[in-house]
Amino acid sequence: MWIEKLENGKFKFIERYLDPYSEKWKKVSVTLDKKNQREAQRILEKKIQDKSNKIQNRAITLHELMDKWLQNYKMKSKNSSYFSRVSHIKKLKKSISHEILVKNIDRVLLIKQIEEWLFVQDLSRNYVKELKNVLNMLFKYAIDMQYIQTNPLNNIQIPTKKVEVKHIKEKYLEKDEVEMILDNLRNAYGNKKNKRIADLCEFLYLNGLRIGEALALEWSEIDFENRTIAINGTWDYHYNNQDFARKTSTKTAQSKRTISFNERTNEILHEIQAENPKEVPYIFIGLLSHRQLTVQVISSNLRNATKRIGLNKRVSPHTFRHSHISRLAELHLPVAAIMERVGHADSKTTLEIYTHVTNKMREEIIEKIELL
């Protein structure tokens, strides 16, 4: 720092700094009435710090960026969306070194990481797509915060994995497999909790709801006279922490819908209505707790049931939704009608199951024709 005395008797304090944009040396100055070097130094350092923030920002690590972004995302999102992102961030942190700086991330590193997930770790393409989407949000946030100028993910495509028939078949259950699981749940240990879980799974199979949509259903949304269900929300919770659970809007605009139900669904609903306390508005609650069942409890019981019957498939509540789609495909319903019923905004999953089921039906027809 140097000082120049001005003609008016004041003092001009000047300091040089490296401009982060041009990477050239520039000057900052402050004029004071008195020759107060300590005060001048403080003001000049603040000016230089403000102008040099870009240099500091560019040195941020990807892990630090994740923490900042997640904190920002939490303020804008549903609990379920936030906790889903927490899971994705954990996976990203596990995959990418904590030492890597955001400014040094390039296409080569990202392409190698995506291929590692797909072909070495054998993660599903859909899950890799979710991880890529989170990375994309991270880099957009980094641009907004001026940590970087361009998104290194731009124009990077996820390679297509060879989809095995076995993989598609594991997304849904055959009719006899559904019946075996439900029978096992209802007959195992004479447990009323298992019966309620069986009723819920059969309801999902018959109507194609997401588990969150079913848990959020209220009696006021059931029209017994016209046999329709109005799906207006989803149950937003994190793991088993029911204290923070609440009903929120549906996953997408297409998810809000009204569907018809059959006689078996009518029987299930009336049985539950007779068992539930009248003061509780929700349908799928525990018989003792009178609170919503959790996905973890449902999934645990399903795993035990599949083991008991020797079924070598990974079954979750969502499997019954996919099984509903497969049954509608077998009944030759148009894809558009199926998508509308299950509230799918994206036809990918519906088409994947639909195509597999209809191809299997064609093969069975050919086999039967050969017997003529």
Place of tokens 């018959």: 206
Indicate whether 116 and 190 sit together in one domain: no
Which of 160, 186, 209 finishes a domain?
Answer: 160
Domain boundary residue among 160, 195, 211?
A: 160
Question: What's the pLDDT at 165?
Answer: 47
Last residue of some domain: 160, 184, 217? 160
Is the same domain home to 132 and 202?
Answer: no
pLDDT score, position 240: 46
Q: Which pLDDT score is estimated for 239?
A: 43
Residue 285 lies in a domain: yes
Catalytic residues: 210, 318, 321, 344, 354
Cα R_g (the chain), whole angstroms: 29
Inside any domain, residue 371: no
Same domain, 227 and 207: yes
pLDDT at 262: 95
Return the CATH number at 136.
Answer: 1.10.150.130
pLDDT, one tens digit for every residue, the chain (372 residues): 888 888 888 889 899 988 766 668 889 898 988 888 888 889 988 888 777 665 455 678 999 999 999 999 998 887 778 888 999 999 999 999 999 999 999 999 999 999 999 888 888 888 899 999 999 999 999 999 888 989 999 999 998 866 544 466 677 888 999 999 999 998 875 667 788 999 999 999 999 999 999 999 999 999 999 999 999 988 876 544 566 567 887 777 778 999 999 999 999 999 999 999 999 999 999 888 888 888 888 999 999 999 999 998 889 999 999 999 888 888 888 888 888 899 876 666 677 777 767 666 666 656 655 665
What is the C-alpha to C-alpha distance for residues 236 and 253, in angstroms, rounded to an integer?
16
Domain that holds residue 149: 62-160
153 Cβ contact partners less than 8 Å away, ≥ 6 residues apart:
110, 132, 135, 136, 139
Number of compact structural domains in the chain? 3
**Measured at the alpha carbon of residue 250, what is the angle toward residues 245 and 252, in degrees to the nearest 5?**
140
Same domain, 32 and 86: no
Residue 90's pLDDT is what?
Answer: 94
